[in-house]
A and B are shown apart, each in its own frame.
Chain A
Amino acid sequence: MLQDTLNHIQDPIVWEGLAQVGAATVLAALVVLLSRRRGLELETELSVAFVRGFVQIVAVGLVIGVLLTVPVAWSAVILVGMVGGATWISGQRGAGLPGVTQVSFLAITVGAGLVIVTMTAAGAIEATVRSLVPVGSLVIANAMKINSLALDRLKDELRDKRHEIEVGLALGGPPPAVLARHLRTSVRASLIPVVDSLKSLGWVWIPGVMAGMILGGENPVYAALYQFVIMAMIFAAGGLTSLLTSLLMGRRVMTEAEQLRRIGDG
């Protein structure tokens, strides 16, 4: 494993990369200098952020280099770890909602998991660590973002529309029917960024995976198709996660006597 890491470091392409880092650093240093001349008092923060970013990304590169050498079964362990992290972050966004951690874990696991497994079976994701971990993490991270948006919006809905919900319950409305419009609002709001991304794909922005593939010498049409597959995976995983979260939360926010629970500040 150590030998593999050393091999990665000693690869001539790494030295070439370091020379490119040097050129980029000159440009960044120019910005720091300009910031100093303009008295923005940002030079320390800019410099620290620049160095920190470099160290972090190189560290990640080294870790991925190590990961590429482990057996494929480890991909599942790594992805479950990522789901754990995503659950924690999303849970903080939805703090105050009952059972938010369990709901987020279940929704992200099912939403992202189903997409990763299906697309691996379909051959869109290679069954290798090199492919499963980065593409899986992309799907999980986006499922987390969409889940967080859904929770955030749901929390606002339940607080702002508490009275309306209670009027519906007081009219003898079944909780799923009373909550339906609020859950719908939350799912819809959570999917706005990904739907807008799909709409603007290609003409407003060229996403990273496609740009990377083209830079790597891949056929641009295939790069475009693969980028679309990635976007579709993000949409499917996010949509499933958001729908599941709203379904599960709809049950959790009600007591057995069909009363709306207090939503905490978190």
Chain B
Amino acid sequence: MPDAPPLATENLTRVVDGETLVADVSIEVEAEEVFVVFGPSGSGKTSLLRLLNRLDEPTSGTVYLQGTDYRTIAPRTLRQRVGWVPQAPTLIDGTVAENVAWGPTLRDEPVDTGRLHELLDRLGLSGFAERDADRLSGGEAQRVAIARTLFNDPDVVLLDEPASSLDAAAADRVEALLADVMDAYALTAVLVTHDADRARRLGHRGIRLEEGRIQASGALDTVLSTPVSR
């Protein structure tokens, strides 16, 4: 389906042990936009994100990738197409290059070292390829995690508060590099954040979640200015 959005959800719901984490969420993410999922902690933002690459199973509803129900796509293919940058970078033991190339290595595929270095340069990590991942600062580790996801060449990137665990200076640097890389690669992204300023700077449209439900959706000004319902 050529006109279908890169990613859409239909009544997506997840209930665990009687607790509703995500309730009836339907969204459409357009090509090359940064779609913001905004809300306070515990509102279900990360739970929603984990459903989008099927790390968790929806209780009901589904996700469409360019119009195709994602349950018909092999999970590992789906996760290559929908990349995930988690809140904590979680790097493996080894060099920066080994971390960035972890996806193809796991799949036993050849590693394009030229592209790997290009990505590292773009994320301000020139000369870092052979550095031990254990010795990176928080900001550097998060940039390696972003490079690792982008190295898989995904159609959509899920960003789970990628700067929230960093100090202000490192967070700003990660944000600036992220904006640059998204622009350069014309990425489509879903950005989870509780920071309204960051959402405004990076995002285009979005939703506001509360207790797993959509409270507001559409233009960011509307979404971010909607008062908390409780």
Q: Show the binding face of A for B, using Cβ within 8 Å.
A: 163-164, 166-174, 177-178, 255, 257-259
Contact = CB atoms under 8 A, between A and B. Distances in A.
Interface of B: 53-57, 71, 75-77, 79-80, 83-84, 86, 88, 90, 92, 102-103, 106-108, 148-149, 152
B55 A171 contact: no
A259 B70 CA distance: 14
Given A164-B92, A166-B55, A172 B86 contact: no
A34 B56 CA distance: 62
Nearest to A165: B90
Nearest to A168: B106
Contacts of A255: 57
Question: Which 4 A-B pairs give the minimum distances between C-beta atoms?
Answer: A173-B106, A172-B80, A171-B103, A258-B75
30 contacts: A163-B86, A164-B92, A166-B55, A166-B86, A167-B86, A167-B90, A169-B76, A169-B79, A170-B53, A170-B55, A170-B79, A170-B83, A170-B86, A171-B79, A171-B80, A171-B83, A171-B106, A171-B152, A172-B76, A172-B103, A172-B106, A172-B107, A173-B76, A173-B102, A177-B108, A257-B71, A257-B75, A259-B55, A259-B56, A259-B57
A259 B84 CA distance: 14
A53 to B, nearest CB: 46
A166, A167, A168, A257 — most chain B CB neighbours (10 Å)? A167
Contact of A163 (B53, B88, B102): B88
Contacts of B53: 170
Nearest to A173: B106
